[in-house]
Amino acid sequence: MIIFLAKIMLIDGSRIRVNTYNPRLAKAEEHYIRGSIYDASGNLLAYTEVESDGTKTRVYPFGEAYAHVTGYSLRSKTCLELALNEKLLSSDRFTDQLEYLFGGDDILGNNAILTIDGGLQQKAYDLLSSVHGAVVISEPSTGKILALVSTPSYDPNTVSENWEDLTNREDSPLYSRAMQGQYPPGSTFKIITALAAFRHGDLRNYVYDCTGDVEIGHTILPCYNSTAHGEQDIYDAFANSCNTYFATLGIQVGGKDLRSTAESLYLNDRIDFALPQSMSRVTVSDADNEQMIAETAIGQGQNQITPFSMNMIASVIANQGMLYAPYIVDRIENTDGKTVEKYLPSLYDRNVLTQEEAEYMEGLMEGVVSRGTAYMLSDLPCTVYGKTGTAQVTEGDDTEPHSWFTGYTKTNGEADLAITVMIENGAESYPALPVVYELLSYYYNR
Ligand SMILES: [Zn+2]
């Protein structure tokens, strides 16, 4: 009898599997104790508590800080609770399955260990808890996601009780701004305009005398606070985030090349990832008028970019033009702690940028920190490269612009982190830069 059962189970892959879309899911969950989810250092992020009467409750010890990573597991499931459903409801321990068949005990499901750096995640959540925004931090040399935060958040422990409120709230706490928020990128888009100009060759030495604003078509595009930057080459203009320079440069690059450069960086595209994501969109074309092309070149117009995509671009530059596919699950372990599935870094595109392009972009992003708009990041125990952005919001002129930073850090010439922070309507009241400073101080000084 045992041999017969063993044979069937081995042929079936020696596990009792549950598919997310399997109608027997609820039935199977009755017989499993859903596996736990841990951060990279072994902190419990989600586990199932079983009471003496057999009632199972899913517990999320860190509440709101991880809501957009773990998601929740009720009748419906979201985020990693959904993506890992089958793994958390299967066991690789053969003895578990025999015990279950003969003794009727519930089976302990496999556990998932994430790439998330718990300290960094909590710090990012704390810094954003009073505003609406997103933080994405990753490791450029592997693609590991170290922190992924979206606020306002929600407590996955009480989703059921608060369902009415959570789904009706205007500030949409269930929605992940890091993965799904499509925002005008503001001046962080100058990364793409500068790269497009570099690829043009003859525009590399473009110089423009900034008088604080420029009239294009029927609109006047000002520099921030109408500052007249004077004569600017690309290094000055990138460091100072000079709008008149980039608007006039963008027109010469043209809509078609702006768009193809954006697409070469995986905008208008989606890379496989465990969490749901929105596509970043850059729709400019040669058919657009000069005003639209100029606005696109400085990150206004119809660009819509997610913090997740923006961070991928920073990570490519940090990694000499190579893109590692972002990933957030490090491994699956059985209840004995044995690894049953390991996720390894995967080189997704070896040549997003040439070495020369990556070095050129790094030079521009270095100036932003050493003498430009992100100067406050110049006294950290690492070298920071980046780009700031202030993105006008179309609805209502008195709405405060969004505040962006995207970039990366190096120590001893090696890339450590790619980091992107976006604060909705935070340009004056809660800008992204001090948040980046706090996160990096924490990371390098802990
Ligand atoms: Zn200017």
With 70 as the cut, is the pLDDT of residue 397 above it?
Answer: no
Confidence class for position 26, pLDDT limits 50, 70, 90: low
Nearest to 422 by CA among 328, 343, 304: 304
Pairing of the two strands 111-114 and 37-38: parallel
Helix (H, G, I), strand (E, B) or coil at 334: coil
Give the contacts of 295 (CB within 8 A, at least 6 positions apart). 219, 221, 247, 301
CA distance 141 to 410: 11
What b/e string do you get for 72-97 counting C-beta neighbours within 10 Å, with b at 16 or more? bbeeebbbbbbbbbbbbbbbbbeebb
Helix (H, G, I), strand (E, B) or coil at 301: coil
Distance 229 CA to ligand 1 centre (A): 4
Q: Would you list the DSSP string of 84-148?
A: THHHHT----HHHHHHHHHH-PPEEPPEEEES--HHHHHHHHHHHTTS-EEEEEE-TTT-BEEEE
Confidence class for position 14, pLDDT limits 50, 70, 90: very low
- Looking at residues 142-166, what average pLDDT do you find? 97
Pairing of the two strands 107-108 and 32-33: parallel
Distance 210 CA to ligand 1 centre (A): 5
Q: Considering 90, 91, 153, 187, which one is annotated as catalytic? A: 187
Cα dist from 162 to 15, 81, 159, whole Å? 36, 19, 5
Distance 314 CA to ligand 1 centre (A): 24
Distance 372 CA to ligand 1 centre (A): 12
Residues listed for the chain? 446
Distance 398 CA to ligand 1 centre (A): 22
Instruction: Pull the structure tokens for residue 101.
Output: 């068949």
With 80 as the cut, is the pLDDT of residue 5 above it?
Answer: no
Which residue type occupies 427? A
Q: Please report the pLDDT score of residue 314 as a whole number.
A: 98
Q: Would you list the DSSP string of 278-302?
A: PPPB----TTS-HHHHHHHHTT-TT
- Looking at residues 354-370, what average pLDDT do you find? 98
Which residue type occupies 269? D
Distance 54 CA to ligand 1 centre (A): 67
Give the contacts of 95 (CB within 8 A, at least 6 positions apart). none
Give the contacts of 199 (CB within 8 A, at least 6 positions apart). 257, 261, 357
Which residue type occupies 106? D
Confidence class for position 271, pLDDT limits 50, 70, 90: very high
Per-residue pLDDT reduced to its tens digit, 108-150? 999 999 999 999 999 999 999 999 999 999 999 999 999 999 9
Distance 213 CA to ligand 1 centre (A): 7
User: How does DSSP classify residue 183?
Assistant: B
370 tagged catalytic:
no
Predicted TM-score (pTM) of this structure:
0.93
Which residues are in the CB-under-5-Å shell of ion ligand 1? 210, 223, 229, 242, 244
Angle made by CA atoms 352, 354, 356, in degrees to the nearest 5:
145
Per-residue pLDDT reduced to its tens digit, 274-329? 999 999 999 999 999 999 999 999 999 889 999 999 999 999 999 999 999 999 99
Distance 216 CA to ligand 1 centre (A): 14
The number of angstroms, rounded, from the C-alpha of 367 to the middle of its chain's C-alpha atoms is 24
Strand partners, 392: none
Q: Would you list the DSSP string of 227-262?
A: ---EEE-HHHHHHHT-HHHHHHHHHHH-HHHHHHHH
Helix (H, G, I), strand (E, B) or coil at 13: coil
Averaged confidence pLDDT in the chain:
92
- Edge-to-edge strand ranges of the sheet holding 402-411: 145-151, 133-138, 414-423, 402-411, 383-391
Report all structural domains of the chain as residue ranges with CATH numbers, in order of start: 2-117 (3.90.1310.10), 119-154+176-326+350-445 (3.40.710.10)
| Exposed / middle / buried, residue 171 (Cβ in 10 Å: 0-12, 13-18, 19+) | exposed
With 60 as the cut, is the pLDDT of residue 333 above it?
Answer: yes
- Looking at residues 407-436, what average pLDDT do you find? 97
